[in-house]
Structure formats: structure tokens, C-alpha cells
Chain A
């Protein structure tokens, strides 16, 4: 097991370097000169331009610039935005809200997705199963903003149960509706994944052996059907954690949340490369860590992987 963890940790290093290099190269190759743009139509005095280029190492070769960028990441010195605000500040403000939102969504989609999927799988071909399958397909087909607006109108405005938007520094209750909206599509996927997996495992030979032992049904399901069915689900949840962190732009927009998605969107529109690169780097790191956790969880769930 220790060897497995060690090997898996070492694999993080090339992934991190590769991802950041690619990211940096893409922004580097972006058309337009940010320094020239600073001067607007009139242009900067040559001396000032040279000074800026000197200060930001823009005259150095690409690879040296990349190394400066790496150094910045490890020293938490990621530069400043156009308005002079440190990028680290921007990130520390946007990240916690998004993180809370993503965590709530993950909990929602896994608990309900696995729950409904398990029950549907155990009742394969019955009414509950068919109903759940149709509904989940519908949820996958509907765009996120439709679900968001409908919930806002019904639950927020007409019933008045939950706040319509989250706004600045949102609390748990006001994040509830955005979290549900954010989770719907993945919920449907997890449900279907769990169901398929359960259907497959219910007829497995080892489940029959477990029943033949005299094990009560609830134990057969929890110990032999569910645990084995979770292995593919865990893979999906891990990948989804990264998506939820980065891809909540639409949901954050609908509910007026100042999270990572909105910040990134605005930075891209404004061409604020420093913010884009820094924020994306943070997302890359989150993605890598999430996948590392999944792989470790994998090894816990399936002993065969520890030795592979």
C-alpha cells in the first residue's frame, strides 16, 4: 500500500509541470502584446516600455519566463491585477465560496445519486427503475440555466422557501439552491452509473455465494453489491470535483455568486493574463489533488489495485 501511495504521489510531479507548462505556453502564444496595450493608442515611451519588460522578465526566453512563473507559484507571489490588487487576494476571496458550493454539490449528488441508483438497480425493470431512468435522462438533457431559473421562480419567488440569489458572502441556506442546480447533471450521471453497476453486480457469482451463506439481504446489498458498485462511481466523482470547481460559471452567474467561475470569466474578457494563469493554475492543482484522493480511495475500495 505504501508503495502504491508513494508511486502515485511521484506521478503528481510530471502532471503538474506538464499542465502548467501547457497553460503558460498557451497564454504566451495568445495574440496581442500586453505591454503595448498598456499604453493605449498613443503608446508608451520606449524607456518606460523597456523598464516594464525588464521588470516582468519579458525579454527573457520562454523557458526562463516559465521558471519565473513557477517560482511565483511556490512563493505565493502571483503578481497584481490591472487595478493593482494582488492576485493572491483575488483568489483567496473567490476560492472559499466556490469550494463550499462545490462541496455541497458533491455531497448532494453522491448521496442522492448513489441512493437512487442503488434502489433503481435492485428493482431493475420495475416501475421505480423506469421512472428514475426517464427522469435522470430529462435532467441530463435540460440546460443548467433552465433548471436554475425554474427553481428560482418556483422555490425562490412563488414558494419563498429559499433565497433567490446568493450575493456577497453567502451563508449555507442561500447556497443550497445553487448547490442543487450545480449538482443536477452529475447527480443524474452518478445515478445511472450506480444503477448499471448495481445491476451487473447483483447477478455476480460472489453475491450468490454471499446469499448462500445465509447472509441477510441488507448485508448482502451493503457489503457485496454496493461496495463493488462504487468503484466506477468514485472515478466519476473525482473528475467531477475538478469540473465543479472550474465549471460553475453558469450557476454562479444565475445566483450572483462571486466565485472562481465569475472571476475567471471576467479576467478572460478583460485579457487579464496574470489572473487567468494564476487562477487556472490553482484549479489545476485542485484537479490533481482531487484525482490523487480518488486514486487512494480506489485502492481502499479495491485491494487488487494496490498491487497492480
Chain B
């Protein structure tokens, strides 16, 4: 009784009176044969086709699936927050014995927040930028019948924020969202979700936008909190490792259907459905090793990797060497004369041997992308040098720098943003050839065809436009464009981070094959240590602009020297689990 708020508005609806100890055998949420469709200009799309799902009081259940599998749509249907034209076209959703499909607006509003809470996906866009954090939590209290004076509410808001793990909560409540970091915002959203002590909390990818260490802290905290309050949690995630670690029960969704469900441990050990098997196999867990094709170069990887990077450097010539690389940004303050210097990259040294992959790993703000941009010559270093093939990039003439661009090419994170939507695939891939005056029209077309073959896309793709392609296909095109000028070095800035696990695995394999085939050197920028293990030979771990650990991949993973590296490794979702039978 202590955790529920008494309903005082005299509503006549038959909300079941909350028992002090809910019967654990009666389902809290039961979804049966749920069908959801979206109406578009070209017809209806069945996003969810017959989903069954049960959550018992206090239980934690995770829906796992890739983007487009209908997992978020299912979750949003439960609290009637389907976007756009989405409609429940069949099936039932019962909550505490009460049918939710077809409820009146007022009844749904009473249910939201009070009975079912939501922690949404992206902390950056889910708080209204124009209201104070405290006000936004206060709204949740007022809307759900919190009885108390303004002062009592203010005190409760601070209490909730503190409970969500935010220090100095009373002062923080008076700040605006833009003064909060991503992790802090996510804590505020958790406070909102739990403000009225719902019986079920829907956590829709609650931490996928956050750094791994922050993610781990927040999820640990959320686990403790919901266990303590006896709140059932429905996790929505694309990350099998995370799901298995956080939930007792897994529901695997694929193309709008539930393909498999059962206890988490059982699904990991003995997946039945073909899709689940693939998902388990490609889950980037700690168990995975460097993808094999790298070894086909005929070099004994173990020999190379066993050496210290300095030692292995003598084996292969270094194509990119960064020495004492430093970048300082001036940040304008809120008042005149209050500008400060921010050292994004602080005298960093690293070397990329020819034909190898060096991973720069770090959390957001660690300076890894700034370092990459200096290697690409897109940013000028404040101090230090980037040597390419023994020549200082900063001292090159504009003409030499232009020539350098042919030898170093980037692939960026977001394939939706890095391809011009107005350009056909052919034009996108051809553009660098035109800029560098390579060949004539005919030979360029032949080259584009060859490149499409290289990235395993049908040649007919070249007449299509980016919006007709999936994320994985677009990233292949971005890679093809980067390879057009036959570069020696690719700078891959979070190149696989935006992709679903299965697609991610395909792209990583492709990159490995291309490396073996063309002798490319990769500078691989990522926050994802699990990916590093699959692709990198050498790892440099960055924190606050400095490299804290620089060694071979196996050394870093098997015998991390620094506390910070150990934290990062421990924070990988599913790190403690044995995936795959």
C-alpha cells in the first residue's frame, strides 16, 4: 500500500484496488495476438502481426529485436502512444485484468504514469527544452493525483531525482535540460517514469544513447530501484547481451512477430529459431575473437599481437604516426571574458602500421573523433604532428594536401547523413573520381561497377537513391565511395555503430575481407569495445583527451593494465554471460 497513490478523483471506472501483495501468478500485463497497422500513401503496413506477451507482477521481461521488428510499436501500443497513423487492428492487451484496447482518452490518461510508466529512448529529445527539470517531474505528480502543497511537491521532486541517482537533486531540479548531460537527463526521465509508482515500467532502449559505463550505472540503479519497489519492467532493446543480463524472460521479435520466447538463460544456451541462432551467434560479446579473414593474409596474428605495439611496428612500416597531437578549443563563456580553453586532445601519440587496424576507443568527449579529424586533415592540430608516410600533414601545400586526400578516406557513422539524398548511388561513388580527375566517363563507370562488386552490392544499385536503401546498404555505399580513389588508409569513425547487430557483423566481415584483399590500413574510431575485439589489431584507449592504454587487442582484453579499461570492459552488456551453447 505504501507505494501506491490513492485514487481520489472519484472516477467510477473499476480500477482494481491494489492489493498490498499482488498475486504473482496472475499476469499483470497480457498481450494476445496483437496486430498493429500503419496507413501510408501506398497502402497499409502491418508492423505487428500477432504478438503474444505476458508480464507477471514484479517480473522483468525484455523484447529483443532489430530496428523495424515492431518491438517499440508493441510497447507504445500498450500505453496508446502509437505514432502517426498506427492503429491496433486486432488482438487484446489486458492490464490487471482490464482490457486496454479501445479505452476512452480520459481512461488512458488516468492509466499512463499512474499504472504504467515509460522511460523513453533518447534522453536528448525526450525532455522539453523550455521547462525546468523539476517542473517536468512535478507535472507527473500533479497529473497523477499527488496530494500536497507546492512545497511538498518540490520536496518530492527532489526526493525522486535523488532516488534516480542524481546528486544535489534540489538544486538540479531548478536547472534546464540543456544544462544536463545525457546520463543526467536519463536519470530525470527515470524519475518521471517512476514518479507515481506505476506497477509496470516500460523501458524503451533506456540507455542506448549513452556511454557504456554510464549505461551500466543507470541500468544497475534501475534494477535496484524497481526490485525494491516491486515494479515490473518491460525492456525494449536491440542488444541481446543487455536483454539477457537485465531480464528474466526474453521475447525475440522479428518482422512483427514473436519468433521465440522463454527464460533468458535458456534462449542464450539453446536458441530454437533460425533468427535467434543468428542473433546469438553475431552478438558482439567478449567471447568473440578477431574475425578470421584477417589471418588469411598469411601472417600469424598471434605472433604479431603478442608483441608490444612498438615492437610490432618494426615488422610493418607505419603509415600514420601521430606525435604529441594536441587540440585546444576556445569556449565562449556566458559573460564577457569568461571564455575557457578546452583541451579536447592532449598530447596523444599513436601509430598505425601498414595493413593493420588501430582502434581508438573511448566514451563521448574522450577526444577520439577530434583526433581522427586531425588525421584526416579536417582540423588543424594546436600542437604536435600527424605524419603520413613520413611527411608532416600540417606542413603540406594545399596541392599536396589535395593529393593526400586520395590516400586517406573517411567513412562516417551515420550513413543516412553522409550520403547526399539528391545524388544517385552512382553519382555518390563517382564524385571523388570526378573531383580528382580520374579517368573518363566510361572508365569511371567501370570503376563504380567494380566497387559495387567489392562491397557485395548488385551493380543495378547504382541507379538508385539513398532513401531506397537500408542502413547496411548505405554504409556499404559509403565504404565503396571511400575506396573509389584506391586509398591506403581508411578512417572509420563509428562506422558500424548505427547498424543492427546482424548488419554490423556483415559490415565488419566486409571490412576485414577488403583489408586482406587491398592491404588497407584502418584507423577505427569507436566507443564499442565488443566491436574492437572483432576488427582491431591494436587498441588505444582514450579518456579525457589522453591515451590511457595502448597495446595489442589481446593484451587489452585479456590483461588490461588500467582501471579505466577494466571499467569499460566490465560495462559491455552481457560481458558476464556465456553466449552461445
Contact = CB atoms under 8 A, between A and B. Distances in A.
Given A214-B112, A214-B143, A209 B130 contact: no
Interface in B230-244: none
- The secondary-structure label for the interface of chain A is helix
Nearest to B113: A214
Interface string B114-125: 100110111001
B139 to A, nearest CB: 6
Contacts of A203: 83-84
Interface string A201-214: 00111111111111
A195 interface: no
A214 B117 CA distance: 9
B109 A217 contact: yes
Contacts of A280: none
Interface in B55-100: 79, 81, 83-84
Contacts of A209: 118, 120, 126-128, 189, 192
Nearest to A204: B125
Contacts of A208: 81, 83, 120, 126
B340 interface: no
A274 interface: no
Contacts of A307: 178, 334
User: How extensive is the interface on chain A, given as a class?
Assistant: 20 to 34
Interface in B331-382: 334-336
Q: Which residue, A203, A209, A302, A304, has most C-beta atoms of chain B within 10 A?
A: A209
B176 interface: yes
Given A217-B105, A303-B130, A212 B125 contact: no
Interface in A123-148: none
A216 interface: yes
B534 interface: no
B555 interface: no
A164 B565 CA distance: 81
B109 A215 contact: yes
A214 B111 contact: yes
Given A208-B81, A307-B334, A213 B112 contact: yes
B139 A210 contact: yes
A151 B117 CA distance: 54
A116 B121 CA distance: 33
A212 B112 contact: yes
Contacts of B127: 206, 209
B160 to A, nearest CB: 12
21 contacts: A203-B84, A206-B128, A206-B129, A207-B128, A209-B127, A209-B192, A210-B136, A210-B139, A213-B113, A213-B139, A214-B143, A214-B144, A214-B196, A215-B143, A217-B105, A223-B131, A223-B139, A228-B129, A301-B130, A302-B130, A307-B334
Interface of A: 3, 7, 203-217, 219, 223-224, 227-228, 301-304, 307
